[in-house]
Amino acid sequence: MSDEQLRFEEEEFSSKFNGGTLIRILGLLKPYKGFTIGFLVTVGMVAFLDSTFTYISKLIVDTAIIPGDRQRLFELIGLYGGLFLVFAAAVFSFIFFAGRLGWRVQYDLRRRLFNHIQELSLSYFDKTPVGWLMSRVTSDSERIADLITWGLLDVTWAFMIILSAGFFMATINWQLALVVLLVIPVLLGVAVWFKQRILVSYRESRRFNSQITASYNETINGVRVVKSMSREDKNLEEFDALTKGMYRSSYKAAWWSALFLPVVQLIASFAVGAVAVGGGASVESGGMTIGAIQAFVSYITFMMWPIQDLARVYASMQHAIASAERSFSLLDTPPEIVNREHAVRVESIRGDIEFENVTFYYEENKPVLTDFNLKVNQGEVIALVGATGSGKSTIVNLICRFYEPRKGVIRIGGRDYTELALESIQSKIGVVLQTPHLFGGTIRENIRYGRLDATDAEVEAAAKMAGADEFIRALEHGYDEEVGEGGILLSVGQKQLISLARAVLADPEILVMDEATSSVDTITEDLIQRGMEQLMKGRTSFVIAHRLSTIKRADRILVIDAGRIMEQGTHAELIRQRGHYYDLYTKQFRQEREEAYDLLNAGAKITGEIPAAVVEEAAAESQPEPALDK
C-alpha cells in the first residue's frame, strides 16, 4: 500500500471527537423538523412509559396483592394494559420515524456527494483513491444516517430512562434515590475510562485489518509477479507480521470489553446493596414497602443498561463523526476548474485554437509544458506523436479544459476560453479514449449516452457511420444486447467502436482521439480508422497515436518532446526531413515488417509455401511510398 493510500486509510483511525461536526450532522435533520420532533417525542414516551410500568408494578404489589384488594388489582391491570397499547403505538411510531429519517438523510447526503463528485476537477481524482470516494458515498453516509437515527435514539432513550427513573425513585424515597444517583457519575467515569482503551484497541485492529485486506488484494492481483519472482516466503513473512499485530490488538480490545461489564455490574451491586440495606431498615420502620424496594432495584437495572452501553454508543458516535468529517471534507472541496464570473454561454466554439506561451504543471517545479505555442486552424486534423510523458495528453486535456494553464492563454475562436462557460466548451468536444468505458446497460443506451434525446434511428445511423452496426446486428439481441459492467461482455475493439459511435452521435465540433486504436487488432483497427475518418470530416481533430501508420493522412503531425514541439509537418514532409519522426516511423515500420515476415515464415513451415498475394503485399509495403517524394 502506497504512502498516499495509507494516509487516506489512516484518516478513519485518527479522528477526534468534534462538537462542530456533530452540530453539522444534526443540521442534516433541518429539512425534516416534523419527523424529528415526532421521533424525539415518541422515544421520550417509550422511555417514560417503561419507567411508569415499574411504578405500576409497585402499586400492584403494595396496594392490591398484599392487601388482597381484587378491585384495585383489576383497575391497575387495566391501566397497565391501556398504557401498554399506547407504549406499542409509540414504539411503532419511533421505529417508523427513525427509518424515514435515516433513509431520507442517507438519500440527501448521497445525492449531494454524487453531484459534488461530478463537479470536481480531474486534478482531484488524480490524487484521490477511487475506493476512498466510494466509501464516502456508501459506508460513510450509512454511518452518519445511523448516528442521526439509532444513535440519537440511544442517547434520547438513555437520558429519558435516567430522568424518569430518578423521578419515580425520588417520589418513592428521595434519600435512597440520592444514594443511587450518586453512583451514576462513578459509572460514567468508569465507562469513559474503559471506552478509551476499547476504542484505541479497536482502531488499531481496524488499521491492521485494512493493511491485511490491501495485502490480500495486492498478492492476488499480482500473483504472476509473486510466483515469477519467488516472493511467496517473503510475502508470507510480511503477512504474518500483520496478522500477529491484528491478533494482539483484537485480543486487547476483547480483554477490555470482557472486563467492562463485570466492573459496571460490581459498582451497580453496591447501589443495589445500599437500597437493600436502607430499604430493609425503612420497611421495618414503615417508611418503605416491599413493592417500593422492588421498584428501586428495577430502576437501578434500568439505569445500568444505557450506562453499560455507553462504550458502544460512544464508539459508534466516534466512527460516525469520523465518517462525517471525511464526507464534509469532500463536500467542502471546491472544484479547481469553475466558471469565471460573467462566463459566457455560446452555441458554437468553431474557430481556430491557439496556445500562447502556455505553461502547465501537475506538481510544483515539475513543468510539463513551458512557454508552449501552437495555432490550429478550424477543421484541421492534428496528430500528436512523442514518448510517454512528453505532454501529448496534457495538450488535449487543456483543450478540453479538464485543466487550465498555470501561465499563458488558450484561445478558441479568438477568445480566451476561460471567458466561456465550461459547459459550452465541454459539451462541444468529443473524446474517444485508449481504454473505452461503457456503462452497465444495453448497447443502444451506451451509444445514446452521447445525446440523451436521440431517437433509435439516430443511434443506429451513428453506429453505421462508426462501423459498429455490422457486429451489433450479429449479436443475439442486437442493439438491446447487455454490455455488462464496464462493457465486460464485449471485446476491446467492440467497446471502442461503440465509444466511437457515441462520439458520432454527440456531433462534436472538436474531436479528441487518445490512442483509440492502440489496444485492438489490425482488422478492428481498420474499422475504427474508417469510422474516425468519417467523424473527423469538417471537425478540428486531435489524434494521439501510438501506431504511426494511422496518422499518415493528418493535416499536420506534431512531434512533442519534453513539452515542446520538436518537429511539425505532414507525414511526407517529416519523412523527408529524416529527423526524430523519421527515426520513430522507420523503427516502427521495420518492427511491423519483421513481425509480418515471422508470420510468413511460420506459415511457410506449415504449408510449405507462402501465398503469392501475401508475398506481393509484403514486398509492396517494403518499398518507399511514392507520395513521400512529392
Domain ranges within the chain, ordered by starting residue: 3-9+17-331, 353-570, 571-630
Rounded Cα distance between 127 and 130, Å, is 9
Span 353-570 CATH architecture: 3-Layer(aba) Sandwich (3.40)
For the CA atoms of 403, 408, 412, 416, the dihedral, rounded to the nearest 10 degrees, stands at: 100
How many Cβ atoms are within 10 Å of 284's Cβ, its own excluded? 9
Rounded Cα distance between 482 and 439, Å, is 10
Rounded Cα distance between 516 and 532, Å, is 9
Give the sheet arrangement for strand 510-514, strand by strand: 429-432, 510-514, 540-544, 381-385, 556-561, 564-569
Q: What is the pLDDT of residue 7?
A: 52
Q: How confident is the model at residue 522 (pLDDT cuts 50, 70, 90)?
A: low
Least confident of 327-331, 360-364, 517-521: 517-521
SS3 146: helix
Q: What is the pLDDT of residue 503?
A: 85
pLDDT at position 484 over 80: yes
Rounded Cα distance between 580 and 56, Å, is 96
SS3 380: coil
Rounded Cα distance between 300 and 187, Å, is 12
- Residue pair 465/531 in contact (Cβ under 8 Å)? The answer is yes
pLDDT digit string, tens, across residues 171-182: 888 887 787 778
Can you say how many angstroms the Cα of residue 627 is from the centroid of all Cα atoms in its chain?
53
CATH topology of domain 3-9+17-331: ABC transporter transmembrane region fold (1.20.1560)
Rounded Cα distance between 575 and 358, Å, is 28
Q: DSSP string covering 83-96, please? A: HHHHHHHHHHHHHH
The average pLDDT across 481-487 equals 86
Least confident of 69-78, 283-292, 348-357, 598-607: 598-607
The average pLDDT across 578-607 equals 64
Strands 556-561 and 381-385: parallel
350 φ/ψ sector (left φ>0, alpha ψ -120 to 50, else beta)? beta
Least confident of 16-25, 85-94, 97-106, 512-521: 512-521
pLDDT at position 630 over 90: no
pLDDT digit string, tens, across residues 181-214: 787 788 778 877 877 777 677 767 767 776 777 7
Element (H, E) at 571: helix 571-577
In the chain, the percentage of residues whose pLDDT exceeds 90 is: 11
Beta bridge partners of 356: 409
Average pLDDT over the chain reads 80
Q: How confident is the model at residue 517 (pLDDT cuts 50, 70, 90)?
A: low
Q: What is the pLDDT of residue 80?
A: 92
SS3 159: helix
3-9+17-331 and 353-570: same fold?
no
Q: What is the pLDDT of residue 593?
A: 61
For residue 480, the 8-state DSSP code is G
pLDDT digit string, tens, across residues 245-274: 888 888 887 888 788 778 877 877 777 777
pLDDT digit string, tens, across residues 271-323: 777 777 776 666 666 667 788 888 877 887 777 777 766 656 766 777 777 77
How many Cβ atoms are within 10 Å of 131's Cβ, its own excluded? 13
Q: How confident is the model at residue 92 (pLDDT cuts 50, 70, 90)?
A: very high
